[in-house]
Structure 1
Amino acid sequence: MKKIAVFTSGGDSPGMNACVRAVVRTAIFKGLEVYGIYRGYEGMIEGDIRRMQSYSVSNIVQRGGTILKSARSQEFRTPEGRKKAYENLKEFGIEGVVAIGGDGTFTGAKIFFEEYGIPTVGCPGTIDNDLYGTDYTIGFDTAVNTALEAIDKIRDTAAAHDRIFFIEVMGRDAGFIAVESGIGGGAEFVMVPETKTDLNQVVKSLKNPRKSKSSSIIVVAEGDDEGNAEVIMQKVKEKVNNKNKDFKVTTLGHIQRGGNPTARDRVLASRCGMAAVEGLLSGHQFHMAGVVNQEIRYTPFADCIGKTKPLNPDHLKLIDILNI
């Protein structure tokens, strides 16, 4: 293998640039030519592929977002789109690919490999932390700390006005951000897609006159079974039926995707980027390079996208204990 390419796809996450940097410089260190594919699978189809040098990734390790840009490609979902992508890779002589992204990115890579045999090693780039085969994903730690900073500030104003805040964080299918930011932020309740939410328990707590707290923080993952934060707030407000209690909603949204990556994310991204290149050279053809128990582990794409990564039950128990 003499030529490889790297791209970022799907939702961006802090640390993607650090991962791109590690891929490029590891490839050069190993004597390979390395190319950047801009705008993910869309750029692969359109031939937006450029040679990268060591200086191409200078001064990016601390930056959020991705210098290679990201896009969601409907055309790549079609056989015709994937054929164009393959022809462009062959035109550049690219023999292996590093894909930085999440579930959708790896699903596309798996299909592409099955059709054309282009070896691909993935790096887990998603703030959701929902990929099987790695303890943490690139961008998760930064997203949690961004949410935590917002929760700390909201708690100040909640306490000042005796308000009950419902704070919505990202997590359409997974509650990892909600759980960790909720524990770190001292939330009274955390609502996640993985468990059934009991609104009656929330209402009972808010009605309890023995509760010394006049303000409360409730963290809601956007994919909770009872709805988003606004919907849940309205349901709880109606059940509490107390005009003296002031209910507010804050949706953090895409602020969680931006910002400078934490040290933890920069190191994780760098390790995964280096491992991805080494994986391609050692014969891994459709695997993700993740970190499990501090060690690099290669997991087949089929497992990454086919197996569910569960929340830590001890974390859920901890929330209940700390809420007494």
Structure 2
Amino acid sequence: MKQNIAILCSGGDVSGMNPALKRFVEYSLQNNLTPYFVYDGYEGLIDNNIQKASYCDVSGIINRGGTKIGSARSKRFMQVEYRNIAKQNLDALHVTMLIVLGGDGSFRGLHQFYKEHNIKFCGVPSTIDNDISGTDYCLGVDTALNMIKFSIDSIRDTASSFKRAFVIETMGNKCGYLALVSHLTSGSELCLIPETAYNLNEYEQKFKQEIQNGRRYFIAVVAEGIKEDSKEIARWFEEKIGIESRVNVLGHLQRGGNPTVKDRLMAYKFITYAIDALLDNKNETIVCYTKEGFRYKEINAVVNTPYQLDEELIKFINSPKATE
């Protein structure tokens, strides 16, 4: 008798979810499993918006951002009565295995669901914030970084033309990963992230000296979770450095876009490892990607361990020094 397996997307969407859905259907059928899509995340589990999936459902979606089956943040799933309904809906379809593409909050809900109903699951880290403990990489991050790269490169053109400072704000909540990596790979002059203390006064002499030596523009990349508002940073450039400034909040464009080759490949691998875990009776794990490769980690360790940004990356932020 075939086993039934379902997949859902929870929380913020990322580019890479559609390639993951494609691999999910194909690899499930390859392993004699019947695949089901849960539409609109945990809300779909509660509302019984669960449908059998086939090759036709994933044809032509590998190059599309977002997620064909929708995503959501579900307050109802936090309540035990709605989790009971979700379990009843899965039981009615004889779904015994569940894969969840999501972030830390999604995994916390999944952990509670497992403790109450013991349904086999595997989580795939999927958030552009890249802030899940235990994994060095989350699905969607590379595409987000490339969207930011394109934006910064475009903004630099106008910044240099008009002698301006641009403060570019990235997503990341309280995690500065996107801002830091974008700073290191874009050649920006200033990077501010929640993980490191900073004093803008320390940059004044250096930046003023650079203007005297011919610098025409500045690019500052800041994470949304820093203590100052981006407008305050722009005001600092105008009042202290003496250069006209603009703020560009990149916002949700970071989540969209054509999935990069890396995210398509990572989606393929993440889903393959997830299904293999369930078939191997690993019943409550998260697929993590580390310097040692793919590893399975218990969900309890993942959701109960605070995320920490790579110290090596943080060290790459140079202290401001005035030019001789």
Corresponding residue of 1:269: 267
TM-score by length of 1: 0.94
Size of the alignment, in residue pairs? Answer: 320
Corresponding residue of 2:216: 214
1:240-284 residue CA offsets vs partner (Å, 9 max, x unmatched): 073xx2011111000000001100011001100111111111111
The 1-side partners of 2:215 and 2:301 are apart by 45
- Counterpart of 1:160, as a letter, is S
Match of 1:286 among 279, 284, 287: 284
Aligned residue runs from structure 1 range 4-43, under 5 A: 4-43=5-44
Equivalent residue of 2:95, what SS?
coil
- Counterpart of 2:296, as a letter, is Y
Measured after TM superposition, the shift of residue 85 of structure 1 is 0.6
- Counterpart of 1:277, as a letter, is I
Measured after TM superposition, the shift of residue 309 of structure 1 is 3.4
Deviates more, 1:108-117 or 1:16-25: 16-25
Equivalent residue of 2:252, what SS?
helix
The 1-side partners of 2:134 and 2:56 are apart by 32
Deviates more, 1:92-101 or 1:305-314: 305-314
Aligned residue runs from structure 1 range 51-130, under 5 A: 51-130=52-131
1:78-119 residue CA offsets vs partner (Å, 9 max, x unmatched): 111111111111111110100001111101100000111111
1:262-309 residue CA offsets vs partner (Å, 9 max, x unmatched): 000110011001111111111111211122236221111222222233
Kept after mapping to 2: 8 A contact 1:172/1:193? no
The 2-side partners of 1:194 and 1:271 are apart by 30
The 2-side partners of 1:100 and 1:254 are apart by 18
Deviates more, 1:107-116 or 1:19-28: 19-28
Structure 1's 281 and 179: CA in aligned 2 closer, same or farther, altered over 3 A?
A: same
- Counterpart of 1:291, as a letter, is Y
Structure 1's 322 and 197: CA in aligned 2 closer, same or farther, altered over 3 A?
A: closer
Corresponding residue of 1:151: 152
- Counterpart of 2:218, as a letter, is S
The 2-side partners of 1:262 and 1:197 are apart by 33
Structure 1's 42 and 296: CA in aligned 2 closer, same or farther, altered over 3 A?
A: same
Measured after TM superposition, the shift of residue 132 of structure 1 is 1.9
The 2-side partners of 1:322 and 1:126 are apart by 32
The 2-side partners of 1:96 and 1:284 are apart by 11
Kept after mapping to 2: 8 A contact 1:202/1:236? no
1:134-160 residue CA offsets vs partner (Å, 9 max, x unmatched): 221111001011001110111111111
Equivalent residue of 2:317, what SS?
helix
Match of 2:256 among 247, 255, 258: 258
- Counterpart of 1:195, as a letter, is T
The 2-side partners of 1:74 and 1:66 are apart by 20
1:48-97 residue CA offsets vs partner (Å, 9 max, x unmatched): 00001122211111110001100111110111111111111111111010
Equivalent residue of 1:171, what SS?
coil
The 2-side partners of 1:96 and 1:264 are apart by 27
Kept after mapping to 2: 8 A contact 1:120/1:287? yes
Corresponding residue of 1:161: 162
The 2-side partners of 1:71 and 1:181 are apart by 28
Corresponding residue of 1:223: 225
Equivalent residue of 1:201, what SS?
helix
Kept after mapping to 2: 8 A contact 1:23/1:276? no
The 2-side partners of 1:98 and 1:159 are apart by 47
TM-score by length of 2: 0.94
Kept after mapping to 1: 8 A contact 2:202/2:320? no
Corresponding residue of 2:197: 196
Aligned Cα root-mean-square deviation (Å): 1.8
Equivalent residue of 2:69, what SS?
coil
* 1:180 paired to 2:178: no
- Counterpart of 1:146, as a letter, is M
The 1-side partners of 2:184 and 2:79 are apart by 43
Corresponding residue of 1:305: 303
Equivalent residue of 2:281, what SS?
coil
The 2-side partners of 1:199 and 1:86 are apart by 53
Equivalent residue of 2:289, what SS?
strand
- State, as a whole percentage, how many aligned pairs show the same letter: 36
Measured after TM superposition, the shift of residue 236 of structure 1 is 4.8
Unaligned runs of 5+ in 1: none
- Counterpart of 1:54, as a letter, is Y
Kept after mapping to 2: 8 A contact 1:28/1:54? no
Measured after TM superposition, the shift of residue 321 of structure 1 is 7.3
Measured after TM superposition, the shift of residue 220 of structure 1 is 0.5
Measured after TM superposition, the shift of residue 211 of structure 1 is 4.9
